[in-house]
A = this chain, B = another copy of it.
């Protein structure tokens, strides 16, 4: 018997922003997440590449999995026994600004339709390019262009955070007059 709860399996529970930040704060966990973003990986493989004991990798993967940021599945291997592969499950964007006269912190999970729209768009673009070499060129161009725009956006973000903070601080001090 299935009960109604099963229908909402895709509705993920929200992870508390403090927990997301705590998990991402650790430098080794960030390196693991960086590797997993490129492809699913298994413990021994990560341990060799990052030069860290399997035990440490295991511990961090378990913490990430318990929180719901990564998931694991057994996959057959062409040579050797089946292995447990880990992959990230959720998209997050974190933005924090602080200093004299400003403080902002946002931990945003991507909405499913947001991810789908970008992926669909991306795959459509790629499928329309006939040759492999042209695909590779297009991908390089995208990385270059997005990097440039990201730099610009982050600079504008810095400015806005400061402007907003100054306005709040002045409003507070003038309100006391």
- Measured CB to CB, the residues of A under 8 A from B are 18, 21-22, 24-25, 27, 30, 33-34, 37-39, 87-106, 108, 110, 114-115, 118-119, 122, 126, 132, 135-136, 139-140, 142-143, 146-147, 149-150, 153-154, 156-175, 177
Contact = CB atoms under 8 A, between A and B. Distances in A.
24 contacts: A24-B96, A24-B98, A30-B98, A30-B103, A34-B103, A38-B101, A38-B169, A88-B98, A92-B99, A93-B154, A94-B97, A95-B95, A95-B157, A108-B154, A110-B158, A118-B159, A118-B162, A118-B166, A126-B170, A139-B168, A140-B171, A143-B164, A143-B171, A147-B164
A23 to B, nearest CB: 9
Query: Among A34, A99, A106, which residue has the most Cβ atoms of chain B within 10 A?
Result: A99
Nearest to A94: B96
B177 A101 contact: no
Contacts of A168: 38, 139, 143
Nearest to A169: B38
A125 to B, nearest CB: 10
Query: How would you classify the secondary structure of chain A's contact residues: helix, strand, loop or mixed?
Result: helix
Contacts of A167: 122, 139-140, 142-143, 146
Query: Among A101, A106, A108, which residue has the most Cβ atoms of chain B within 10 A?
Result: A101
Nearest to A104: B150
